[in-house]
Structure 1
Amino acid sequence: MHPTPYESDADWQLLQDELRRLAQAELLPRFRHVTAEKKADGSLLTEADGAMQRACQRFLHDNWPQLAFVGEESTPAAQQAALQSDTGCWVLDPLDGTTNFAHGCPLFATSLALVQGGEVVLGLVYDPVRDELFTARKGQGATLNDTPIRVNTAVDQLKETLALIDFKRLPKPLAARLATEAPYASQRNIGAVVLDWCWIAAGRAEIYAHGGQGLWDYAAGHLILHEAGGVSATLDGEAVFNGTLNKRSAVAAASPELLQQFLALAADV
């Protein structure tokens, strides 16, 4: 059986190089040159989503045929069957931040993770506009373009943080509380879940909250954050990754102290 990029440094480098190349080939030429259509859930879908997923799926199957595949644009039945594979499966979001992409806003990325033995063992998130590749293998730390990254631990009070908050998907009482009685120093919403995780990992903000995201949205970024020294939980205090396709709320933080401060606030609403 061919070694996976988790087991082989050569395969790990191949995977990084090819994900970068595919995003540059499939996403960037279509940026500002595509129209979008609505999916059943109201979210947008562009030609770039499908093209990137097909290209990635071909590459992954050609090199690691023993691994199953979960793509955001796959059918629910195919996603569930792949996730139950004994050998492991890839989890791909070909284009996260599709609304940004469709509107010409340069904040979007591709996310790829490998799930084996009930855990995420590697993750990559690539932002082609800035040519920023965030990566992690379990137990080996996180990097940005091959340079190690760590969360910002200099801030230990929620009121001093820069927060990345997705108001739209949070419970309405919590969203209203955060909007009217901001517990942080300042707030942003960049509109690309996979980058939210990575920006916390890289120290660009200290707290992040989202009310419900799919496995493909958080699998890679969740590992990258934790390998960079960060922590996370659902709004109910559970582990975000639970090995299912169910949507999960998420709070990510640069330290356990910041995480607990935010969760305490959320529980008090």
Structure 2
Amino acid sequence: MIGQTPFGCEPDWLRLKEGLMAIAREEVMSRFHHVRATLKQDGSLVTEADNAMQQAVEGFLGEHWPQYAFLGEESPQQTQDAALLQSSGCWILDPLDGTTNYSHGFEMFSVSLALLVAGEVVLGIVLDPLREELFAARRGMGAELGDQPLRIRTVPESLDCCLALVDFKRLPPTLASSLATNPPFASQRNLGTVALDWCWLAAGRADLYLHGGQKLWDYAAGHLIFREAGGAACTLKKDPIPVLSTMPRSAVAAGNDRLLQIWLDSFANSL
């Protein structure tokens, strides 16, 4: 499928990555220590950087690859729904994943961009603009971190030596309580940016993942990168991670199928 897009060729792939990095430096990093945030209708924060980044990326993509529709987190719902129906495919952008972190000066946030064609995510890029780390993948071509291949090399044998990324806030209360009082893992973190969650798993910086509700622009790119790096994931209902809906979906992940099943089994009685 990636061969049916311009991004099977290195010049376009490089232009896309370099363009995203340049825009992030201009629109996100230049505002980091001078953040102005407001509340959206759903109670979440939005900053000038969110809106400026989305506008700039949409313009960049439209200039170079106008054949694809555009779906951004800050786009109206009607626009998002229409973009998903475009037969040519659509871009999926989270202009600033981790806005709460960003607005508080907490140095953990990212930019996430995916391309959806014929119901499949065919490429994904997640940029950590602060650390200048760029995670990327093309479907069937593996994942990369900068100019190096990215592959999960070591998977623990048991949960008791695992570092888990767990977002307790969105989990079913019984499950959250069980994991907090009787954790099967060695230690737990929460990065506050879903896109980087997936990428840090792919890079072996954590072993397990659990999130109760993430949206399409949060996971589309990161999930592809994780999968291309060799990881295994599903929802709490053990369904595949979906890509054709903007509704929140849960996510459970581990470095391979074996560890994923052990992880699922460990909290099955708490669902």
Partner of 2:7: helix, strand, or coil?
coil
Could you tell me which residue of structure 1 aligns to residue 191 of structure 2? 190
Superposed, which structure 2 residues align to 1:36-185 within 5 Å? Answer: 36-185=37-186
Say how many residue pairs are matched.
267
Separation of aligned partners in 2, 1:162 and 1:182:
11
**CA offsets 1:178-232 (integer angstroms, 9 cap, x no match):** 1111110111011111000000000100111100111000000000000000010
CA gap of 1:174–1:5, structure 2 versus 1, over 3 A, is: farther
Q: CA RMSD in A?
A: 1.1
TM-score (norm 2): 0.96
* TM-score of the aligned structures, taking structure 1 as reference length: 0.97
User: Percent identical across equivalent pairs?
Assistant: 55
> Does structure 1 conserve the Cα–Cα contact (< 8 Å) formed by 2:155 and 2:255?
no
Taking structure 1 as reference, are residues 119 and 56 closer, same or farther at Cα in structure 2, changes over 3 Å only?
same
- Name the structure 2 match of 1:25: 26
Deviation string 1:87-113 (CA, Å, 9 cap, x unpaired) is: 000000000000000000110000000
Q: Secondary structure at the match of 1:115?
A: strand
Residues 131-168 of structure 1, C-alpha deviations (whole Å, 9 max, x = no match) = 00000000111011111111243312112110000000
Secondary structure of the equivalent of 2:22? helix
Query: Which moves more between the two structures, 122-131 or 245-254?
Result: 245-254
Cα distance 1:5–1:160, how it changes in 2: closer, same or farther (>3 A)?
farther
For residue 5 of structure 1, report the CA deviation from its aligned partner. Answer: 4.1
Matched ranges for 1:239-254 at <5 A? 239-254=240-255
**In the alignment, is the contact (CA less than 8 A) between 1:156 and 1:255 conserved in 2?**
no
Give the Cα separation in 2 of the matches to 1:45 and 1:5.
32
Aligned to 1:218: 219
Partner SS, residue 49 of structure 1: helix
Which residue identity lines up with residue 18 of structure 1 in the other structure?
Answer: G
> Is the partner of 1:50 in helix, strand or coil?
helix
C-alpha contact (below 8 Å) 2:151/2:202 kept by paired residues: yes
CA 1:232–1:173: 2 relative to 1, 3 Å: same
Q: Distance in 2 between matches of 1:146 and 1:101?
A: 27
The amino acid of 2:215's aligned partner reads G
How many Å separate the matches in 1 of 2:76 and 2:144?
Answer: 32
The CA distance in 1 between the partners of 2:153 and 2:241, in whole Å, is 21
1:233 aligns with 234
Q: Aligned partner of 1:172: which letter?
A: P
Distance 2:265 2:141 in 1: 31
- Asked if the contact 1:235–1:266 (Cα under 8 Å) also holds between the matched residues in 2, the reply is no
Q: Secondary structure at the match of 1:168?
A: helix
